[in-house]
Amino acid sequence: MRQRLFACALMFVTAVPAAGLAQDATVLKTTCGPSAAAPTGEPDLTGLWDVYMDVGGIPSFGLLTVGWLDGRYAGTLTPVRTAPVVVRSLTVSGQTVRMVVGSREGDVTYNAALSAAADRMCGAVTYHGGLLHPMVAQRRRR
């Protein structure tokens, strides 16, 4: 009985401070259906994006930060398990997004479809040697 009380007290003590730091949850949709309509005008991709990549069945999460620098998109991609990488280029053509990030082993490309609301990208990352991994990026609420 004493062990159960101790376990409950320990859970309470560790949960209460964490609850005070809680933020609104971002729901990451892992699929992208066909867009109902093409975006009107040039979409603005600046902001924070939650990233999910499936690396051979192992989930990999990260944060993509996009801003403007010298009239073009720039930013960083920060995977949870590795060091941040620089976004070398990010271009949009209609509903097609192409992003190139630098890594120690060489450039990695991401080709994706952009949702009509310009709040989600679904596509594949092409790694060194041609390895493909599905990746979804969903913009955080502004």
pLDDT in tens, 9-20: 444 444 444 444
Q: Is the pLDDT of residue 40 over 70?
A: no
Question: Residue 87 has which token pair?
Answer: 């976004």
| Domain presence at residue 12 | no
Residue 118 lies in a domain: yes
Average pLDDT over residues 29-43: 66
Give Cα 65 distance to the centre of its chain: 9
Helix (H) or strand (E) holding 128: none
Percent with pLDDT over 90 in the chain: 57
**Predicted pLDDT at 120:** 94
Q: Is residue 22 part of a domain?
A: no
**Cross-strand bridge partners of residue 111:** 98, 124
Which one has a higher pLDDT value, 36 or 93?
Answer: 93
Q: Report, as an integer, the average pLDDT of 12-34.
A: 54
In a domain, 61, yes or no: yes
Residue 96 in domain: yes
Does residue 19 sit within a domain? Answer: no
Any domain includes 38: no
CA distance 95 to 111: 11
CB distance 41 to 34 below 8 Å: no
| CATH code at position 97 | 2.40.128.120
Residue range 80-115, pLDDT digits in tens: 988 899 999 999 999 999 999 998 889 999 999 999
Range of the domain at 123: 47-139
Q: Is residue 99 a part of any domain in this protein? A: yes
Overall number of domains in the chain: 1
The pTM score is 0.74
